[in-house]
Each structure stands twice: as structure tokens, then as C-alpha cells.
Structure 1
Amino acid sequence: MSIKYCTVTSKEELEQILTLQQANLWTNVNLEEKEKDGFVTVEHNFDILQQMNKVYPHIIAKDGANVVGYALCMHPMFADKIDILKPMFTEIDAVVPKDEKYMAMGQICVGKNYRNQGIFRGLYNTMKQHVQPDFDSIITEVDAKNTRSLLAHYAVGFKELKTYFSDGRDWILISLK
């Protein structure tokens, strides 16, 4: 297996992201899977995913022609486009200095058969290299109940900015410089 990290360049890659997202969406995985493997919270549609990609391309991990992991680049200009993420941007505005340029990581996911192989770290390393010339940091949030994801983010260098409550959940807002 040879994993290649790159940016999204085709409609097919965007469609594969949506398929991978559905397989790991918190409403589509059982409690045992959520605790063991984590989950994704936001459900994107093709149009918003494509719009985001046109502004700043998403990062993907591919095994041959198959997308096996992704990290979505969500430029702050999309702050009001996805309802569940609106509070995150409000919290970012409250704690991040106005002169700091950041890229929001809209979601990260690695396919079940590709976990524990360094792909999560590879996606973030690639994203960091990709956005670094233009942005000072990458900021995202993790559902406090998603322990696997939170620990993985801390392991690659994310630091907690704050915890807040929204949409019936506790969220941990984190940043990677």
C-alpha cells in the first residue's frame, strides 16, 4: 500500500469524500464504533464541498485511485454556510487575535481500513505545508465525547483554545501553529 497525499482536483474525489463521510457520520455508527474509532459530526453536501475546494483545495490521502482519508480546508469566508459550525467561528473570533490568519479545518476522516497507519498525521502535515504560506494556524473543534479524535489531534500538536457548549454538546476548540 502506497498512500499519496494531494489536493482534490476532481468531482470524483469530492464524491469519494462524501461517501467516506457517510460511512463515519455520528448518526451512522453505533456507540461501540464511536468510542473505539471516533466519528464525524458535520454532513456536507456536494455544492458546499465544491465551493470550499475552489477557494482552498481540500487535502486527501489516496491509495491508488481511492480516497481513503481527507482534511477539509474551510476558509473563514464560509463561517456562515454550515449551521452547526457557526458557533465555532463565533468562538474563534472571541479568542484568536484579529491579526492572526487561520484556516479552519472543516473535518478530518480516515477510512476504517486505513486507521493506525499514520494517515491522520500525514493529512495534517500535508495541510500544514499547503496552508502555511498563507495562514498562521489551523483551527478546528472536536466534540468532547470524541475522545479518539481529540487524542489524535493533541498527538499531532494541537493545543486547546477553549471549551464551550453548543447544539447540546461540549466542544473543544483547538489550534495548530
Structure 2
Amino acid sequence: MTPPAPPRTCLVTRREELEQILQLQAANLRDHVSPEQAAREGFLTVAHTLDVLERMHALAPSVIAKEGEKLAGYALVMPVEARAFVPILEPMFQLLETLSWRGRPLREYRYYVMGQVCVAAPYRGQGVFDALYREHRASYGARFDCTVTEVATRNTRSMRAHARAGFETIKTYRDATDEWAVVVLGLHDGTR
């Protein structure tokens, strides 16, 4: 018997896919999972709305992994132009303006924020996370130099996964909610 094919990755093309992202997001928000589950499986911090996802999608569609019509995971694309869509992230965008990567100010690179990544529980540990980032490189490597995001350092599963995918930590800081690592991933050979 042949094992099932892994979920395929692609860019969001339909509103229904954005709605699936919101359902998966809601199930994995920090406030909706137990502390034990958060420590073991990871968690999400920011909740989006359909309107925000649609506006982000209009600038640059997000990356998803699907098995048939079922959403296996997602990685949101948030171009800098989308910073006003999620006001809670404004301090992060302000911080990014002050940081450097590989000897140059980050603002000199063509970058976008990886707005959030989540893999559905039945698909964890099957390479979906890495496949989402391979799709980011394939889909956005010509348009952007890198992607940057913040990960709560206590979200150890996410920290390990981002390091495995090739992200480099450029800053660690604490705010009122958590300790964060700002991490960057080069999207093409010129920035790897």
C-alpha cells in the first residue's frame, strides 16, 4: 500500500481558504489552549479577522498546505504595506525599522513579515512547516529578499522549527506580554 501523498502547498486563491485559516487560528490561540498544550505543541498570539486577511491577501496571498480540501497549515504573508491592518503589531514594525541583518539595515531589504504560521494537529511532525517555507521561497523569492517574524521564546516548538527552516535570530527583547525573538529567513541565494 502506498502511503498518502503529503499535503500540497500553494497560495490562497479563495475566500473559503481564508475562512479555514481563521478556524485553524482560533483553535490554536494562546488563550484557547491549555498551558501544557502550549508548551508541547506551540500556540498563536494574534487573532485576525476575515477583513484583515482579505486585505493582506490583496497585497500578497498567503501560503497554505492542503490535503484535498482540508487545510493542513498556513503561513501568512504580511507586506510592510499591511502594517496598519493589525494595530497591535505596530510596535513590532517600529522595532523592525531599527534592526540590521547581515550588516545592513533591515529597511534596505525588500522584506515582508511572516504574519503567523500554524500546522493543524493531525499534520504536525510530517514536514508541513518546512514545506510552507519552501513555498514562501518559491512564490516570493523573486519579489522579496527575506521574511521576518517574531516568535515568543517560550514557544520552544516554534523556535526549533524556525531555526530548522533556516531563520536567524537578529534580536531578542521583552515586552509587557512575553520575551520575543525577531528572526529572519533569506528567500533566495543572494540572501541565504
**Under a length normalisation based on structure 1, what TM-score does the superposition of the two structures give?**
0.97
User: Displacement, 1:165?
Assistant: 2.1
User: Displacement, 1:169?
Assistant: 1.3
- Give the corresponding residue for 1:170: 179
- Give the corresponding residue for 2:20: 16
Runs of at least 4 residues off by over 6 Å: none
- Give the corresponding residue for 1:46: 50
The DSSP-based 3-state class of the residue aligned with 1:172 is strand
Which of 94, 98, 117 is matched with 1:94 structurally? 98
Amino acid in the other structure paired with 2:151: V
- Give the corresponding residue for 1:112: 121
Q: Counterparts of 1:15-164 in structure 2 under 5 Å?
A: 15-96=19-100, 97=105, 98-164=107-173
Say which is worse superposed, 149-158 or 87-96, in terms of deviation: 87-96
Structure 2: how far apart are the matches of 1:150 and 1:79? 23
Amino acid in the other structure paired with 2:144: F
Structure 2: how far apart are the matches of 1:117 and 1:168? 31
Equivalent residues of 1:139, 1:174 under 8 A apart: yes
User: Displacement, 1:170?
Assistant: 1.1
The DSSP-based 3-state class of the residue aligned with 2:32 is coil
The DSSP-based 3-state class of the residue aligned with 1:133 is coil
User: Displacement, 1:166?
Assistant: 2.3
Equivalent residues of 1:70, 1:123 under 8 A apart: yes
Structure 2: how far apart are the matches of 1:49 and 1:140? 17
Structure 2: stretches of 5+ with no match in the other structure: 187-192
Structure 1: stretches of 5+ with no match in the other structure: none
**Under a length normalisation based on structure 2, what TM-score does the superposition of the two structures give?**
0.89
Matched positions, count: 177
Superposition RMSD on alpha carbons, in Å?
1.0
The structure number with the bigger radius of gyration is 2
Cα shift readout 1:7-33 (whole Å, capped 9, x = no counterpart): 111111000000000111111000110
Structure 1: how far apart are the matches of 2:156 and 2:169? 14
Structure 2: how far apart are the matches of 1:46 and 1:144? 28
User: Displacement, 1:173?
Assistant: 0.3
